[in-house]
Amino acid sequence: MADSTPPLTTQQDRPVYVIGGGPGGLSVAAALRARGIRAVVLEKSERVGASWRGHYDRLRLHTTRRLSGLPGLPIPRSFGRWVARDNVVRYLEKYAEYHCLDVVTGVEVTGLERAPDGTGWLLHATGGRELTGSAVVVATGYNHTPHLPDWPGLETYSGELLHASAYRDPAPYAGKDVLVVGVGNTGAEIAVDLVEGGASRVRLAVRTAPHIVRRSTAGWPAQRTGILCRRLPVALVDRLSGPLARISVPDLSAKGLPRPETGLYSRANEGAIPVQDVGLIDAVRAGRVEPVAAVESFEDGKVALADGTLIAPETVIAATGYRRALEPLVGTLTPLDARGRPTTHGPRTSPQSPDLYFTGFTNPISGMLRELSRDAEKIAKAIARRHHT
């Protein structure tokens, strides 16, 4: 799509600029359009849903289709209960088309500052563009920039090392000894994918034992439990989740994956979402995925684990997370916490940066897409109240 945005001069005529063409950005734009507010989505890649296009092939939503639709358009029933990656991409494309969203692709916003007249925001973008908006919504995503730890001795490793963001399918690793580092949802699912794809040995490096939950039990999805728990006291959810876990998830301590010592909701509030089981439990019980200690360093081409063990996998896949990478964009415009997340979120804005909104920078147990949808409506309502009442 070409950048056809006309010059804008008055506060009333300035659009709301939404940075990021993923589900968060698209849902905000649709919610604004439903209120008669012009929104322009700026996406640095050439198509919407760029992050979803880059995920591994077997990925499916861990949340149900019915609870994952964005405002104004349900996900088609034909996509099934657990929507596959390619169908998520199709849905996002259809969503932008259905709502007639103004999406400008191939434009990356590199900086923000207050507009010269003191109202609104001036956006600096690639190609020397300077765009002025009445408000800005940052929706660049929770998983923005792959993070690879600076392990000591990494330069000595002669095997293949890649971040999980570069993993697509198990075919290249058939017959190989692979170490997956990190036991979040991504690491757990890649480990299972490798086993099913014919890797000769799969080890899973674990620093902190995760909470593991069944994706669905007797037809009841874990997401619905997360929604019910969303507003309950943390201590109460922690107490209730322990006995439930012991009933539904077998003790894997003898296999190297003990039950976590901290409560489920306490961990979730720290950013560690429970791992939804898509085969990990059975793979660990059968010895096909071997949990091992955390990676500490690399020594003479081998991987040194926290328990002193040296192993020599042919491939290391680092499922070590992402950074929000907001610092270059917002600088000191708004406070960021220790993990680089904005301290204001959804309809709330910082006093020092009014009309600058953020969405998609939390990882709730109730489901990311569901919360993005709720945030979109709240942000649109807040913007409408400030500028169009």
Q: Which two tokens stand for residue 285?
A: 């019980």
| 11 pLDDT above the threshold of 80 | no
Query: For the CA atoms of 171, 174, 180, 184, what is the dihedral angle to 10 degrees?
Result: 50
Task: Quickly count: other Cβ atoms within 10 Å of residue 37's Cβ.
Answer: 18
Can you give the pLDDT at residue 265?
Answer: 86
Q: Are residues 292 and 217 in the same domain?
A: yes
Q: Are residues 171 and 298 in the same domain?
A: yes
Amino acid type, 314: E
| 2 pLDDT above the threshold of 70 | no
The whole-number average pLDDT for the span 75-91 is: 98
Where are the alpha helices (H) located in the chain, listed in sequence order? Answer: 23-34, 50-53, 85-98, 185-196, 222-229, 234-248, 264-269, 280-285, 327-330, 368-387
Q: Are residues 96 and 163 in the same domain?
A: no
The whole-number average pLDDT for the span 84-89 is: 98
Angstrom CA distances, 332 to 69, 233, 343, 349, stand at 34, 33, 12, 14
Asked if 163 contacts 318 with a C-beta cutoff of 8 angstroms, the reply is yes
- Gyration radius (Cα) of the chain, Å: 22
Q: Is residue 2 part of a domain?
A: no
Q: Are residues 346 and 243 in the same domain?
A: no
- Residue 274's domain comprises 146-318
Q: Within its chain, how far is the Cα of 10 from the centroid? A: 36
Q: Are residues 102 and 248 in the same domain?
A: no
Q: Are residues 135 and 24 in the same domain?
A: yes
| 242 pLDDT above the threshold of 90 | no
> Among residues of the chain, what percentage have pLDDT more than 90?
80
* Contacts with 2 (C-beta within 8 Å, 6 or more apart), sequence order: 104
Amino acid type, 151: W
Q: Is residue 83 part of a domain?
A: yes
What does pTM read for this prediction?
0.91
Task: Quickly count: other Cβ atoms within 10 Å of residue 154's Cβ.
Answer: 15
The whole-number average pLDDT for the span 158-166 is: 96
The whole-number average pLDDT for the span 108-133 is: 94
The whole-number average pLDDT for the span 227-239 is: 88
d(CA 340, CA 323): 7
d(CA 368, CA 41): 20
Q: Are residues 199 and 219 in the same domain?
A: yes
The whole-number average pLDDT for the span 91-107 is: 98
Instruction: Give the chain's count of helices (H) and strands (E).
Output: 10, 22
18: helix, strand or coil: strand
Can you give the pLDDT at residue 159?
Answer: 95
Q: Is residue 330 part of a domain?
A: yes
Q: Are residues 69 and 210 in the same domain?
A: no
DSSP character for 80?
-
Q: Is residue 9 part of a domain?
A: no
Which pLDDT band, with edges at 50, 70 and 90, does 5 fall under? very low
The whole-number average pLDDT for the span 313-322 is: 97
Which pLDDT band, with edges at 50, 70 and 90, does 7 fall under? very low
d(CA 302, CA 153): 9
Average pLDDT, the chain: 93
Q: Are residues 221 and 296 in the same domain?
A: yes
| 320 pLDDT above the threshold of 60 | yes
List the strands of the sheet with 102-105, edge to edge: 102-105, 39-43, 16-19, 135-138, 356-358
| 8 pLDDT above the threshold of 80 | no
| 76 pLDDT above the threshold of 90 | yes
d(CA 184, CA 206): 9
Pairing between strand 16-19 and 295-299?
unpaired
136: helix, strand or coil: strand
Q: Are residues 140 and 150 in the same domain?
A: no
Can you give the pLDDT at residue 276?
Answer: 95
The whole-number average pLDDT for the span 262-281 is: 89
Q: Is residue 3 part of a domain?
A: no
Q: Are residues 120 and 31 in the same domain?
A: yes
Which pLDDT band, with edges at 50, 70 and 90, does 366 fall under? very high
Pick the more confident residue, 107 or 13: 107
Domain boundary among 261, 292, 318: 318
Q: Is residue 166 part of a domain?
A: yes
| 54 pLDDT above the threshold of 90 | yes
Q: Is residue 8 part of a domain?
A: no
Which pLDDT band, with edges at 50, 70 and 90, does 13 fall under? confident
Can you give the pLDDT at residue 6?
Answer: 38
Least confident of 142-146, 204-208, 265-269: 265-269
| 388 pLDDT above the threshold of 80 | no
Output helix, strand, coil percentages for the chain, rounded to the nearest 5: 30, 25, 45
Domains identified in the chain, total number: 2
| 389 pLDDT above the threshold of 70 | no
Asked if 137 contacts 379 with a C-beta cutoff of 8 angstroms, the reply is yes
Q: Are residues 37 and 163 in the same domain?
A: no
Angstrom CA distances, 360 to 8, 26, 72, 137, 374, stand at 28, 12, 18, 10, 11
Domain boundary among 266, 297, 318: 318
The whole-number average pLDDT for the span 121-132 is: 95
CATH of the domain at 122: 3.50.50.60
| 252 pLDDT above the threshold of 90 | yes
Q: Is residue 224 part of a domain?
A: yes
Top mean-pLDDT range of 12-16, 154-158, 226-230: 154-158
140: helix, strand or coil: coil
- Determine the longest span between alpha carbons in the chain, in angstroms: 67
Domain boundary among 286, 318, 350: 318
